[in-house]
Amino acid sequence: MIPQTKLPKVGTTIFTVMSQMAMQHQAVNLGQGFPDFPVPDFLVESLARAMRDGKNQYAPMMGVPALREAIAEKTLACYGHTACPDSEITVTSGASEAIFDAVLAVVRPGDEVIVLDPCYDCYEPAIDLAGGVCVHVALDPADFSVDWQRLRAAVTPRTRMIFINSPHNPSGALWTADDMQRLIELVRGTDIVVLSDEVYEHILFDGARHESALRYPELAERSFVVSSFGKTYHCTGWKIGYCVAPKALSAEFRKVHQYNTFCSFAPAQWAFAEMIRQHPEHHAELGAFYESKRDYLRTQLARTRLRPLPVPGGYFQLVDYSAISDLPNAEFARWLCVEKGVAAIPLSPFYERPPEGQRLIRLCFAKNAETLDAAIARLEQV
């Protein structure tokens, strides 16, 4: 007997589908968001040394102390927020695990959780598994800014959590200081918890500042702030992330974490601790590193019929293909991969209800120049 599904809306993720299609058709893969250039040499050497030194058994449930202490030092330096390594920082098996743990820790059946569309595809399944009700609020379709009137209208006495994501995946849009202040005013005097997805926290362009929830004491005291080492250090396959949250929220978070993964890959934790402390210039210079890649791709896109949208942060470029086709974006992405040899991600899977007539796909520019050149050579023929 096949049980009734707990996730009736969920199939294979669009990222898996497009990556498989890229391999099948030998397409240049600008779809799934992973770098195709090397991990920093120091980090690889640190990982190998940790393994040779015998640091291969279970890590402590909340994370290796040296790494939690390094995260606390970095959090203070970057955002002026003091987080206790012992009670407020938890290392997880990637940011996705941290998101699931946070939702399952505090969302009860019937609680409402607000997400801002377009949003990353793991948000709603986590809410569904917790028995919560996912409430979708659309961002402005022109620039992906927050529609504060819509957001305020969506808050009810049953609202338990609000997801925010900056730099935003898929658009790259940034929350401003004014946005953060409006959020503070919205949740003040309520029991609403914030989940701030900040995995692209160091990838901002044109002199912009990352407005972490940790910069704002009123938000920090009610927020799960989630980040990812994979995005910062080009090693998405290592699957190490972390969550910073106040003591009471962290205690609930750890109750879920300990029965979900318990702990994460120990040698990598030791390596990240060394990397943070000995090479802080890496995360400090990451924005400039990716800004050059953004600009490189945008310059080349001028030779195609794709129209690039502004990209303030993250490592994805949205492009409008209206000058090429009237196909819906999922169909266009399939056609582009199969017929023209470039894999991209359609925007519709990020929405509950995609805007009618939207003609956007997402390209990842976290690639070496050879990959971007190969993609552009094919896109010029479209």
Q: Which domains does the chain have, with CATH numbers?
A: 14-39+285-379 (3.90.1150.10), 41-282 (3.40.640.10)
What residue type is 164 in one-letter code? I
- Between strands 89-92 and 241-244, the pairing is antiparallel
Q: SS3 for 345?
A: strand
Task: Determine the pLDDT at residue 2.
Answer: 65
Q: List phi, psi (to 5°) of 337.
A: -70, -50
DSSP state of 313: B
**For the stretch 198-232, what's the b/e string if a residue is b when 16 or more beta carbons lie within 10 angstroms of its beta carbon?**
bbbbbbbbeeeebbbbbbbeebbebbbbbbbbbbb
pLDDT tens for 134-174 read 999 999 999 999 999 999 999 999 999 999 999 999 999 99
Q: What is the pLDDT of residues 64-99, one digit of tens each?
A: 999 999 999 999 999 999 999 999 999 999 999 999
Provide the token pair at 333: 């992405």
What value does the mean pLDDT of the chain take? 96
- Report pLDDT digits (tens) over 340-359: 999 999 999 999 999 999 99
Q: Omega of the bond prior to 167 within 30 degrees of 0, cis? A: yes
Instruction: Give the model's confidence band at 32: pLDDT under 50 very low, under 70 low, under 90 confident, else very high.
Output: confident
Distance between CA 62 and CA 48 in Å, rounded? Answer: 22
Residue 144 in tokens = 């992906």
Q: Tell me the CA distances in angstroms from 137 to 210, 226, 278, one per residue in order.
A: 23, 21, 42
Contacts of 69 (CB under 8 A, 6+ apart): 85, 273
Task: Scan for tokens 């910069």, then name that residue.
Answer: 215
pLDDT of residue 1: 59
Per the CB < 8 A criterion, the answer to whether 305 and 343 are in contact is: no
Largest CA distance in the chain: 58
Residue 10 confidence (pLDDT) above 90: no
Per-residue pLDDT tens digits for 193-232? 999 999 999 999 999 999 999 999 999 999 999 999 999 9
Global pTM reads 0.96
- Helix or strand (DSSP H, E) at 137: strand 133-138
